[in-house]
Amino acid sequence: MNQATVTRFPGVQRRADCGVYQFGLRAPKDLLAHFPGGWATRVALKTSDLKKANAKAKALHAEWSARFEALRTGKPRPIDMPDLRRRLFAQWERAITRLDDTYSRVPGKDRETRAHGLQCQIDELRQCLTEGVLPEWLEDGAKKYGDATAPEIVTEYGGHQLMLFEVMHEALTDERRTFPLRVQHTQQRCDLMGLSAAPAPHAIQHPQALQQPATPATPTVSESCGLHPVNI
């Protein structure tokens, strides 16, 4: 279909300098106190295809409509678990793809320092998850997915970040370059999504991992890590 015949979704605009579409949504008048600038969101849609831009804008509009309703009623908007897991899985894939390139450039002494810092974060995050909370330094990241105090966000996002920190630590310390944790955690992420896992980049499948029978999808990411937060 010719883009000239496609009607733009409300709020979709094309940047003249680069041809990429963006989406803007003004806050409703009754909620302007929450949005001093008047805009609820203004975001690049990262595509020059109008049909794709419209689809992204429509999804964003629906998401913001739910947020507006939550602000009006004072009730937290329900968490779409399949969508949450899809978004976390996409983040996982991006991070894993960049992992080796990022850490292969770190010199030896700095590797030890970074590995120590990551281990401290891992220990703190693991302890927080057993208590059913996120550490303060993860709360801003969690808010991109919903209420950072919601049990579903704590277990899913917190468990996701724990796995990610563990494979980052492994990338700095595994001298054999077999990356068993990366293979195991990628498989667990795929199990949650109901997908078949491809081998992690630059990782060799460990024989024991290959012999393990497939297990049903686990309820939460935190439980995949052996964590059982209280009061959740």
Per-residue pLDDT at 187: 85
Lowest-confidence segment of 5-9, 116-120, 221-225 by average pLDDT: 221-225
Report the percent of the chain where pLDDT is more than 90. Answer: 31
Span 2-42, pLDDT tens digits: 566 789 999 999 998 888 999 999 999 999 998 888 999 89
Enter the pTM of the model.
0.54
Q: What are the beta bridge partners of residue 8?
A: none
- Strands, E, within the chain: which ranges? 12-14, 21-26, 39-44
pLDDT band (50, 70, 90) for residue 79: confident
Distance set, CA 193 to CA 12, 74, 84, 190, 213 (Å) = 31, 31, 10, 5, 17
Tokens of 51: 């049909």
Name the residue with higher pLDDT: 223 or 21.
Answer: 21
pLDDT at 56 exceeding the cut of 50: yes
Per-residue pLDDT at 184: 85
Average pLDDT estimate for 176-197 = 74
pLDDT band (50, 70, 90) for residue 195: low
Per-residue pLDDT at 30: 94
How far apart (Å, rounded) are the C-alpha atoms in residues 100 and 96?
8
Per-residue pLDDT at 232: 30
pLDDT at 86 exceeding the cut of 60: yes
Per-residue DSSP letters for 150-181? SHHHHHHHHHHHHHHHHHHHHHHH-TT---HH
Lowest-confidence segment of 5-9, 72-76, 223-227 by average pLDDT: 223-227
Name the residue with higher pLDDT: 222 or 28.
Answer: 28
Report the percent of the chain where pLDDT is more than 70. Answer: 80
Q: What are the beta bridge partners of residue 44?
A: 22
Closest CA to 9 of 59, 44, 46: 59
Span 146-175, pLDDT tens digits: 888 888 888 999 999 999 999 999 988 887
